Chains A and B, each alone.
Chain A
């Protein structure tokens, strides 16, 4: 099955994936039998209430965790049973992570934060090459001129842009975002969605966990989970376009917090 799908542009393929946690005598079935295919160039929002198993599934998709049973093919390769360091290499080369709390290294410049994945890559780059690449990606997320700022000198939205730049530095197949707007105000959230849509339009696959339906509406496809299984999986009909929403918000900047996009 995997071999056949490779050519069709399936980048993430989950085949009857289970994840069972054991705490003492209790067995918790966090994910039970999820099968999911995500094509290259999709923008998927993974939704569900807390405890629905969406974070666990995201960890598996992000190669941070391995399924208890089932198969996970990332870019056509089975990664279900790889060792720690092999998974780390997949995370480094194929995946980019954006977190709710940004997770930037403190007291470290934006540029150095963005360079971080390159330091763990197999390619040996000179300091000048590192710098050039980092500055290029920072420029693409609109942070030119802030390369030397530390996270504490940046706003939440800017910090998340640095995090996105860090996720993009190794040209990943898939950008994984776990509640990327959870710590941001509405206007900034829309801006971040704007970046995601722009990246997606350029062909990057985006998988985003969110529990906010309106944020999910910026995606192309919504996968709803409940009790460890996929409940609904449908294309977004009335898709929000971030540039339009920002235009609508234009005059109401001061009230940004109250206005829902």
Chain B
């Protein structure tokens, strides 16, 4: 029998019991819809992660001080002041492939201007920092290397901090008092948004690290050193050289732990992606359960359909249908049912992800690949669960089938 005829028969059989067909396909619809919606949200999240990683700047290594002490108590990144300005200079001077280095000091402080005040993060950085992080200024200018050398009382201000202190006023040229020390605001940074850790990167005041050490944070150690490497394939070798250079400078004997930690942005991305992968795995499990349940529903209704149409099968066999023809016919009916569920499910998933992204303001990215996968999987479910009822139908005895009441 020709396939076109089989499709026609299948369509007629499914149309005859519209409600039953839709209810049967519901399991598949929900399963596929859930997958499409979740994948869209997952992809949206991944895209956001990618954007945030790109916003860190390209080919960045971050060297943090600390992470372990001789007594074995880990203090966390930046906890133990083991990084010195000289370490940063050594990296700048001795490690090949290094493009730029920024010494970083970090603290939090109350800042004030006029009658407004705000508690914000104070970052001390070298003048190269803005290049490393590809962080442009919205207004005014960054401070210079001269400012860093002289520890001048200048700073640039992030968008959030600026808004909270100056409102809509232009902060450039204004005086900002940090821990009572007046600083001149030389520029306003463009917006970066939230970091992977969920902190507002724009809620910040950035000044020369020398000024931060002297006037805000105190001390002479660095929290971390940001190092920009010339290209991605150089990162690993540069990382190794930084490690051996710092171990040598810190007199760490072989066998002892480092008193610093080097992180590269790929690791950050990997962590974020690993989280996303766990979510994808869970959603895959949920989808599988839903598809199995939907498949059982299809199998059930196909068995009912075969029983209902026993006489029809008898007639078809009597006029010369082979078992194979009957098998194909019912298999196609099952596949049409499940594939229809797949298509409706894809549509439902797209609608659901649009609604979620509207309500929750989450970014969603609809993936054509997953739409194709969802469609093929739902069709495969039809074949798998439709096979048993179809085989039952194809093995009916024509005489018994014709006599069936």
Contact = CB atoms under 8 A, between A and B. Distances in A.
Interface secondary structure of B, over-half rule: helix
B319 A97 contact: yes
Nearest to B315: A103
Interface stretch (A41-49, A84-92, A182-190): A84-92
B319 A93 contact: no
B12 A116 contact: no
B214 interface: no
Given A85-B323, A103-B402, A108-B12, A119 B2 contact: yes
A59 interface: yes
Contact of B318 (A85, A91, A93, A106): A91
Contacts of B399: 59, 64-65
A93 B315 contact: no
B319 A84 contact: no
A105 B321 contact: no
A107 interface: yes
A166 B319 CA distance: 9
Contact of A117 (B312, B320, B323): B320
Nearest to B15: A107
Interface string B298-340: 0000000000000110111111111111000000000000000
A93 B320 contact: yes
Interface residues of B, number: 22
A120 B325 contact: yes
Interface in A86-138: 88-89, 91-93, 97, 99, 103-108, 116-117, 119-121, 124
Contacts of B320: 88-89, 91-93, 117, 120-121, 170
A29 B265 CA distance: 86
B321 A88 contact: yes
A85 B315 contact: no
B398 interface: yes
B316 A120 contact: yes
Interface in B10-29: 12, 16
Given A103-B402, A107-B12, A108-B12, A91 B319 contact: yes
Contact of B321 (A65, A120, A170): A120
Interface of A: 59, 62, 64-65, 84-85, 88-89, 91-93, 97, 99, 103-108, 116-117, 119-121, 124, 166, 170
26 contacts: A62-B318, A64-B318, A64-B398, A64-B402, A65-B399, A84-B322, A88-B317, A91-B319, A93-B320, A97-B318, A99-B402, A103-B311, A103-B314, A103-B318, A106-B312, A107-B16, A116-B316, A116-B319, A119-B1, A120-B1, A120-B319, A120-B321, A120-B325, A121-B320, A124-B2, A170-B320
